[in-house]
Structure 1
C-alpha cells in the first residue's frame, strides 16, 4: 500500500462522498499508487488508524481529523501527536476550516504540508493527494539515481 487517507467526522456529514473517493482513487491509480481510505468516528479511532498506517508501512498519509481536531488539541493525552511522531511516512494535514489545524511545536514532527480550503474538503483532498504523489515520485526518482549512480530520465 502506498497512500492512506485517515479521516474523522465532519458536521456536514460524510467527508468523503462516493464521487470524491472515485476521483481520488483514479488520481492515485494514474500515478501507479494504491490508496486506502480509513474513516474514524472518535479520537481513539483516529489515533488507532494513524498507528495502523505505520504498522502497514504506508508510504504517505493524508490526515483529516475533521471535528476531532478540536478534541486532539484539548486532549493531548489521547496520543495523536505521539502517533504522528512515530509514523515512518510523511503526512499532510487536510482541513476544510481555517483554525482546525493541529498544533506542532518544535518538539514534534510537523506535516509536509497543511492544506486548508475553507468549505471545500474535496479540493483539499485533491491538492493534498497531488502533493503526496509528487513527493513520492521525487523520492522514487532519488532512489533510482542512488541505485544506478546517475540521473534517471522519466
Structure 2
C-alpha cells in the first residue's frame, strides 16, 4: 500500500468572486475524469500556481482562464494556506500521483462587471472549459455543494470572507 501522506501538497489558489448583492459565483464542474455526484459538482474557481508565480497574480489569471472575468477588485486574502488531502480512491486512480492533495491560498474579489462578461463555455485564449453551468449562490450554501473532501476548505473560506457576503 502506498503512503500518500509522504507526498507534497500541490500549491494552488482559490477565488471567491462576490457580486454587488453579496452572492458568490459557483460553477458546475465539466469534463472530470472521475465522475462527481450531481449534488457535489459545484465549486468556486481554483487552479495551480505556475513555478515562481505570485499567488495574487495566479488568482487573477485562473479567474480569467475559467470565467473570462477581469472586472474585479481585491477585497481580502486568507493569509495562511488551506490544505486538503485527496481521498485514497482518487490517489489510486491517478497514474503518477505526485501530490497528496492541494494547499490553497484563497482570495475574495468583488465582481465589478456585468453578468454578460462571464463566459465559461468558450474560455479566452484557448483555455480548456472547466464549467458547464454557473450561478450566483449564497456563501452559506457553498460547503454543501462541493465534493465532500473539499467541504472543510469551503467552511473555512466562507467564514474568512463572511463580511463581504449576504
TM-score norm. by structure 2 comes to 0.28
Higher-RCO chain (CA-CA 8 Å, sequence separation at least 6): 2
